[in-house]
Amino acid sequence: MDTIGLFYGSFFGNTERAAGEIKRALERIADVTVDVINIGKVKAEAMLVYERLILGISTWDIGQWQYEWDAKRKAIEKMNFSGRRVALFGLGDQAAYASTFQDAMGQLARLVRARGAVLVGAWPADGYAHDASDAIEDGMFLGLALDNDNQAHLTASRIAAWTRQIAVEFGLRLRAPEDAQVVAR
């Protein structure tokens, strides 16, 4: 069975809850184990144990990284992600921070890509109301963009669609629909 490392940083718990939802959704639809790890409790190099990674980060204030990720930035800048597939998800507030929505996710995505990672999980930028974002390339977010402040009602459906997408992009064996229902019970 494949194993994915899902690393997140969370101050108020929103990113941690999203990480848990992503784990459950992926394990329900694919033959995979997802290890959920708080980046603040391990060395950044712990990510290198995994060939497939999911990284969850929130954007703070005006485009800043969540503090647990920020504390690991210098270490990540020295790491080699060659051969690893990496999907990202981010949390942010598109209304209060319309000009920096999901900037931290975009910056982290570009950093790991510059260090050799292959990014998967690009997500359409349609359906959001913001002015600008460092996380958008060619009309797509570099990962799943979540906004629990203004669009919490869309979080579950976005996670469901995105996890199916990244399962395929990660090359995971998908469960038959009836198997997924059994696991979900």
**CATH at residue 40:** 3.40.50.360
- Tell me how far apart the alpha carbons of residues 136 and 103 are, in angstroms, rounded to a whole number: 9
Q: Phi first, then psi: what are they for 167, rounded to 5°?
A: -60, -45
Taking only the tens place, the pLDDT of each residue in 82-104 is 999 999 999 998 888 887 788 99
Taking only the tens place, the pLDDT of each residue in 130-182 is 888 888 999 999 999 999 989 999 999 999 999 999 999 999 999 876 554 44
Domain total in the chain? 1
pLDDT of 110 above 90 = yes
pLDDT of 124 above 80 = yes
Overall residue count recorded for the chain in this entry: 185
Domain range for 47: 2-184
